[in-house]
């Protein structure tokens, strides 16, 4: 195999978000940057389109109004659904020498208050539903809040400023010759974004990222995988999270693509069609659910055998004769995904190899990436030319990766070095020093390389189950096998001490009621449990003795997750072992 190469495409160099906006607008002034609905679900619902030129103008207007409030060098929080005003706020703040603090829209009120206080934000831009929360905090003098800005108010009310009015005010100031925004100079190595991690175990940490961190990552992606100016991307994952923010929002803008905002989880299929989505950034849980529905539809139609045969034929033609007819042959399948999907970007968790191969067989490319908030986020990824199902690819051209403390299986902790590595944790020097040494960031993730240099993730260092005989069990490996069962929505491996104080392995399975009915017929849960056990016994036969499952729990209740759909493993295990 030829040497892995992460420099596939030519790129435009950017050092700041001002560069990003200026270059994109110069190249794609009349392209549609954003599509979104107003009055969703109402009779007068309509779609709004904003061009790249219009975005730049609105950023300049809102930035000027913010600077006129005298808040340069302060922190500005933004919270709400994925929407146009969120993106404008992010650009306006970061191009005006302020620090953006994106907050998780699903946090409870107490945690929102905690992060507002911890971060020291002075200005908050928010959706209408948060008005009472922030008014209460301001009135009680909690934190440093000076300015409240509603994305939805048309006019200022009770001291809450209107986003729309501020944009108009900024427009007027610029016409009058105000040059506050024009005179801003960006230091791309200073903190520009403060992101709170949605940790699965401990209290969230504040990750400090510079514009150099993030723009270096955008360029890394652009060299590895091409988003075209003709693409339309569905923005579905929460924008406060760096995965969605950097790939969909920022890299999408850099590429001249259109970002369409999803109406919600249950509208994904509808939005894929109506917006003619060609690029979708998602987590494996969403993509696996979509794929299982397609597979189920094929089974019901009685065409499973012919689809399997056609997949083999089209794969042979593509791989060996470079004749790609997959999308023509499987047009009816692709129509279930809107008909235009060409590439799926995914990360945040591993995805079943069978699902990856399945999408590829239908003519949809899948690219897996790996990273963390602390690495802006990309640390490794597959490229347009080099992919290996199940792997996370390779390091970008401007990033170094290494494994340390490698065990006899070749598995070690992944460390990252490069311009994408965070400045540190906000007001937490001890935590920073724990993970950052000589420029190398210790991820806490375990991985290994195959013989060709592709990186595979084994799981979190803290999640490894160490048995009494010294054997290591990596939960992801076994959960992958369980999740292949057609009726399994998700699963989690857990250890339980037995009477000899040795650890037995158990699996908690969340099953899909419809699919389990189709598999076994309509039965009581206790009967399902016996039938599921038969499937587990078959899986056990393929595992070494020390990895075999000795206990199962089945339920329809979803596992507890972060807002980016990562399972809160330790909380789940704690509940199981109570």
DSSP per residue, 147-184 = EEEESS-SS-BTTEEEHHHHHHHHHHHHHTT--TTTT-
For 364-422, how does the pLDDT look when each residue is reduced to its tens digit (9 = 90+)?
Answer: 999 999 999 999 999 999 999 999 998 999 999 999 999 999 988 899 999 999 999 99
- Tokens read off for 349: 């968790």
Specify the pLDDT at position 201: 44
Beta strands in 374-411 (DSSP E): 378-381, 400-404
- Tokens read off for 4: 């892995």
Give pLDDT < 50 ranges for the chain.
1, 200-201
- Tokens read off for 150: 């509603």
Specify the pLDDT at position 198: 65
Model's pTM, two decimal places? 0.86
Burial label, 379 (beta-carbon count in 10 A; 0-12, 13-18, 19+): buried
How many whole angstroms from its chain centre is CA 349? 9
Specify the pLDDT at position 463: 84
Rounded to whole angstroms, the Cα distance separating 441 from 508 reads 33
Specify the pLDDT at position 571: 87
Decide if 312 contacts 248 (C-beta within 8 A).
Answer: no
Which domains does the chain show, CATH number per domain? 464-577 (3.30.300.30)
User: What angle do the packed helices 131-139 and 109-119 form, to 10 degrees?
Assistant: 50
Parallel, antiparallel, or unpaired: how do β-strands 472-473 and 378-381 relate? unpaired
- Tokens read off for 574: 């704690």
- Tokens read off for 357: 């191969």
How many whole angstroms from its chain centre is CA 507? 26
> Cis peptide leading into 377, omega within 30 of 0?
yes
Q: Which residue has the tokens 């360029």?
A: 219
C-alpha pair distances (Å), 340 with each of 286, 315, 335: 18, 20, 8
Q: Which residue has the tokens 């300015």?
A: 147
For 174-197, how does the pLDDT look when each residue is reduced to its tens digit (9 = 90+)?
Answer: 999 999 999 999 999 999 999 998
Rounded to whole angstroms, the Cα distance separating 175 from 57 reads 12
Q: Which of 522, 496, 501 is nearest to 576 (CA)?
A: 496
Please give the helix or strand (H or E) that residue 321 lies within, else none. Answer: helix 304-321
Q: Rg of the Cα trace of the chain?
A: 25
Q: In what order do the strands lie in the sheet with 75-79?
A: 160-162, 147-150, 123-126, 75-79, 99-102, 191-196, 206-210, 424-425
Rounded to whole angstroms, the Cα distance separating 401 from 161 reads 46
Phi/psi at 208 (nearest 5 deg)?
A: -95, 120
Rounded to whole angstroms, the Cα distance separating 7 from 5 reads 6
Three-state secondary structure call for residue 439: coil
Three-state secondary structure call for residue 144: coil
How many whole angstroms from its chain centre is CA 309? 34
> N- to C-terminal Cα distance for the chain?
51
Three-state secondary structure call for residue 198: coil
Q: Which residue has the tokens 């972060």?
A: 562
- Tokens read off for 85: 């005003």
**DSSP 3-state percent helix, strand, coil across the chain (nearest 5):** 40, 25, 40
């Amino acid at each position: 195999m030829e040497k892995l190469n992460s420099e596939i495409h030519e790129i435009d160099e950017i050092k700041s978000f001002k560069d990003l906006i200026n270059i994109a607008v110069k190249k794609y002034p009349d392209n549609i940057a954003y599509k979104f609905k107003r009055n969703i679900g109402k009779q007068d619902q309509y779609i709004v389109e904003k061009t790249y030129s219009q975005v730049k103008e609105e950023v300049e207007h809102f930035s000027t109004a913010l600077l006129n409030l005298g808040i340069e060098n302060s922190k500005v929080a933004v919270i709400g659904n994925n929407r146009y005003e969120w993106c404008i706020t992010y650009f306006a703040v970061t191009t005006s020498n302020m620090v953006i603090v994106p907050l998780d829209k699903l946090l409870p009120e107490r945690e929102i208050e905690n992060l507002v206080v911890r971060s020291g934000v002075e200005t908050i831009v928010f959706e209408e539903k948060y008005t009472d929360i922030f008014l209460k905090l301001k009135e009680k003098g909690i934190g440093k809040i000076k300015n409240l800005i509603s994305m939805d108010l048309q006019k200022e009310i009770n001291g809450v400023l209107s986003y729309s009015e501020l944009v108009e005010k900024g427009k007027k100031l610029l016409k009058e010759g105000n040059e506050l925004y024009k005179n801003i100079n960006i230091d791309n190595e200073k903190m520009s974004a403060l992101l709170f991690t949605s940790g699965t175990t401990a209290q969230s940490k504040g990750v400090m990222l510079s514009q150099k961190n993030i723009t270096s990552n955008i360029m890394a992606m652009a060299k590895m995988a091409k988003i075209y100016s003709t693409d339309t991307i569905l923005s579905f994952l929460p924008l406060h999270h760096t995965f969605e923010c950097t790939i969909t929002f920022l890299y999408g803008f850099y590429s001249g693509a259109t970002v369409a905002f999803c109406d919600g989880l249950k509208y994904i299929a509808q939005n894929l069609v109506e917006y003619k989505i060609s690029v979708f950034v998602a987590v494996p849980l969403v993509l696996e659910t979509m794929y299982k529905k397609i597979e189920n539809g094929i089974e019901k139609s009685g065409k499973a055998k012919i689809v399997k045969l056609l997949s083999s034929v089209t794969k042979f033609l593509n791989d060996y004769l470079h004749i790609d007819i997959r999308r023509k042959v499987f047009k009816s399948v692709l129509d279930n995904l809107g008909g235009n999907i060409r590439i799926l970007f995914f990360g945040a968790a591993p995805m079943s190899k069978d699902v990856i191969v399945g999408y590829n067989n239908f003519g949809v490319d899948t690219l897996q990436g790996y990273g963390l908030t602390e690495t802006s986020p990309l640390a490794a990824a597959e490229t347009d030319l080099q992919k290996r199902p199940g792997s996370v690819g390779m390091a970008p051209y401007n990033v170094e990766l290494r494994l340390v403390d490698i065990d006899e299986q070749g598995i070690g902790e992944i460390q990252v070095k490069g311009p994408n590595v965070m400045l540190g944790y906000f007001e937490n020097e001890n935590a920073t020093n724990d993970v950052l040494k000589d420029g190398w960031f210790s991820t806490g993730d375990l991985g290994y390389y195959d013989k060709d240099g592709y990186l595979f993730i084994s799981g979190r260092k803290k999640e490894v189950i160490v048995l009494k005989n010294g054997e290591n069990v990596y939960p992801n490996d076994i959960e992958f096998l369980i999740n292949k069962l057609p009726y399994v929505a998700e699963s989690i491996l857990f250890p339980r001490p037995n009477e000899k104080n040795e650890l037995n392995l158990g699996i908690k399975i969340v099953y899909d009621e419809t699919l389990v009915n189709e598999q076994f017929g309509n039965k009581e849960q206790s009967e399902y449990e016996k039938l599921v056990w038969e499937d587990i016994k078959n899986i056990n036969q393929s595992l070494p003795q020390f990895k075999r499952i000795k206990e199962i729990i089945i339920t329809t209740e979803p596992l507890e997750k972060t807002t980016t759909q990562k399972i809160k493993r330790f909380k789940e295990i704690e509940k199981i072992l109570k």
